[in-house]
Amino acid sequence: MPESTIMRALMDVIRERGSRAEGEKSYVASLMRGGVAKIGAKIVEEAAEVVEAGDEPDEAGRTHLVKEVADLVFHAMVLLSYRDADWADVEAELERRFGTSGLAEKESRGRSS
């Protein structure tokens, strides 16, 4: 399956901004300087906002949900970059799992741990 162009472009921007010098202004660079603790806190915050938005009614709730999921994915991508992983790695893992029962996939992880 082909990699999403926007995800590739966003990952490239995150990597570039994450490598900026200490004094340069960049939200991504400030997250990177804070490490897993700072990035993780944003991921937890955004995940909670996704769940809250998921319970909002009508089209406004749907629109809010999409925006919050975008925020969550963005911050997860920052963490991937921090750990020198890439969105392509996530896509490869999803492709590996594609067509496999979720229950069977979870069971296979339990045996390998």
**End-to-end Cα distance, the chain:** 28
* Assigned CATH class of 5-99: mainly alpha
Domain borders along the chain are 5-99
Q: What is the pLDDT along the chain (113 residues), one digit of tens a residue?
A: 555 799 999 999 999 999 876 767 899 999 999 999 999 999 999 999 999 999 999 999 999 999 999 999 999 999 999 999 999 999 999 999 998 876 776 777 775 54
Q: At what angle do helices 58-82 and 27-54 cross, to 10 degrees?
A: 140
